Amino acid sequence: MGPPAFSYASQERGNKVCAGLFGISEIKLLSTKMPIVPGQLPSRDMLMINQAPSVVETQAIGTLESAIRNCALLRTAAGMPTSASEDILQARISRLRHDLYSGHIPYAVYNYGLAQALKKHTEFMVQGEQAYTQGKAAGENQLFGLTLQNLVGVPNAGPLQGSGWSCSSPSAASSPSITCR
């Protein structure tokens, strides 16, 4: 079985395993300009920084990218692998980080893109939970209907067959049980 689906609790546990990676002074240099911990939202002030990173900040962004990749390895070694949805989210954010690192976008654009990626990811997770809940309810309703059908019996339903068994539904005048041979 693969890793569990994304949850913010597992993200937090994973971040604790990797805290040492994000505590490096070179990475902390970025903490006022962009979130450095995975899953963290940018502050309002971060959304206002309309400048490209300096040479030192560019090196720090590269170190941050390495730390995030090493974090995934640490989490796997600790028995807390990242989920597929976390990996997809991190790939999207990594592309944004690359554009920031390359000087193609300023911090404000990166931070806005990060916030949007996290928002879309959260919406995706909520939709997944809703679909699961609806599917589970539909399955339970169908099972309930089949159980009632078997308990009450369906007149004139004809023979039921499957797995080598031949079953007949009772007629209205006979007993309320199904006969199988």
Tens digit of each residue's pLDDT (9 = 90 or more) over 127-139: 877 888 888 888 8
pLDDT band of residue 46 (cuts 50, 70, 90) is: very high
Give this prediction's pTM.
Answer: 0.66
Given a cut of 60, whether residue 173 has pLDDT beyond it is no
pLDDT band of residue 11 (cuts 50, 70, 90) is: confident
Other CB atoms within 10 A of residue 137 CB: 10
Q: Mean per-residue pLDDT for 99-109?
A: 96
**Order of strands across the sheet with 179-180?**
159-162, 165-168, 179-180
Whether 71 and 26 share a structural domain: yes
Domain that holds residue 154: 145-180
Whether 75 and 155 share a structural domain: no
3-class DSSP state for residue 127?
Answer: helix
Within a domain: 30: yes
Whether 160 and 86 share a structural domain: no
Provide the number of structural domains found in the chain. Answer: 2
> What proportion of the chain, given as a percentage, has pLDDT over 90?
41
